[in-house]
Homo-oligomer: A and B are copies of this chain.
Amino acid sequence: MKQASLIIIGDEILSGRTDDKNLAYLAKWLGKLGINLSEVRVVLDDESAIIEAVNNLRVKYDYVFTTGGIGPTHDDITTECVAKAFGVKTRIDDDALEKMKEFLAGKELTEPLLKMLRIPEGGELIYSPATKAPGYKVDNVFVMAGIPRIMQGMLEGMYDYLEIGEIMHSRSFDIMVGESFFAEDLTHIQANFPEVLVGSYPFSKEGIYGATIVLRSTDESLLDSCELKVKDLISKY
């Protein structure tokens, strides 16, 4: 199964000012393609932090996605940093320039607009239905905007570059009792089904503790058998 990672770039996420929406969206989108999201890093709009994350993760995972920092303002430094991570310069793409001129229809092509057409040498443009300014890929690194609607459009354009894996099926069941009551039984179930990922995610609702037991596997018949055991367990409470 291919493994992916995501770098969320932006001071606004780390200050708590903006809630990230892209992690969950990307995770589910990749899940449907049979690709695992295995690690996420959130970094500041800081050159060395971005370069380090890109260079760490692009050797560690099959795919690296980034969100944020490709706009026209001075704090948008993602493209510059991705180029530095790959040791290349940036260039203005002719095709993107053509499309932007058409869009502007005679209006001035300012420096900030030009900045958004810049991509690292060796990169390929990936258009989004939502904007004239494209995302792009360099090797296994996919660079996207931070605004969710635009990011989601760019992601569709990246589909063709990804290798589809076996789909992970998942089933989940709520149990309305604290985890410590059923933890030992659940350990036995996991031991009997080593090829099913058995997870337990506690919650509290109006002061009552419960948990969601999640089973994940590429094999549906294994999930069927495992589900029976989990239902037996739940019926005890």
Please name all residues of chain B whose beta carbon is closer than 8 Å to the beta carbon of A26 when the two chains form the complex.
Answer: 16
Centre residue among A27, A49, A112, A147 by max chain B CB count within 10 A: A112
Docked pose: A160 CA to B141 CA in angstroms = 42
Query: In the bound complex, do residue B28 and residue A39 qualify as a contact, i.e. CB atoms below 8 Å apart?
Result: no
Evaluate contact between B11 and A197: CB separation under 8 angstroms.
yes
Q: Is A184 an interface residue (CB 8 A)?
A: yes
Q: Which residues of B contact A172 (CB under 8 A)?
A: 17
Tell which of A200-208, A220-228, A229-237 binds the partner: A200-208
- Cβ-based interface call for A167 (8 A): no
* Contact flags A6-29 to B (C-beta < 8 A → 1, else 0): 000011111111111001111110
Q: Are B200 and A75 in contact (CB under 8 A)?
A: yes
* Distance of A74 Cα from B43 Cα, bound (Å): 31
Contacts of A36 in B (CB 8 A): 14
For A6, the closest partner residue in chain B by CB is: B42
Query: A110-B184, A112-B183, A147-B204 are contacts. A12–B75 as well, Cβ < 8 Å?
Result: no
The residue that A15 contacts in the complex, of B10, B42, B170, B198, with Cβ under 8 A, is B170
Asked whether any CB of chain B lies closer than 8 Å to the CB of A41, the reply is yes
Can you tell how many copies of this chain the complex includes? 2
Best-buried of A14, A19, A20 by chain B (most CB within 10 Å):
A14
Whether the Cβ atoms of B202 and A71 lie closer than 8 Å is yes
Collect the chain B residues with CB atoms within 8 Å of residue A10's CB: 201
Q: Indicate whether A180 sits within 8 Å of B41 (C-beta atoms), given known contacts A18-B201, A31-B15.
A: no
The verdict on A40 contacting B42 (CB below 8 Å), with A71-B202, A75-B199 known, is yes
Contacts of A116 in B (CB 8 A): 180
B18 lies within 8 A of A25 (CB): no
Q: Which residues of B contact A155 (CB under 8 A)?
A: none
In the complex the two chains form, what is the Cα distance from A216 to B75 in whole Å? Answer: 13
Cα–Cα distance between A116 and B183 once the two chains are bound (Å): 11
When distances are taken between beta carbons in the complex, the residues of chain B under 8 Å from A190 are: 74-75
Tell yes or no: A122 within 8 A of B by CB.
no
Query: Hey, which chain B residues are within 8 Å of A49, CB to CB?
Result: 38-39
> Does A113 reach chain B (CB closer than 8 Å)?
yes
- 15 A–B contacts, CB within 8 A, in A order: A13-B40, A15-B28, A15-B37, A16-B24, A17-B201, A20-B23, A38-B49, A39-B44, A39-B49, A40-B42, A71-B180, A71-B200, A75-B198, A112-B180, A112-B183
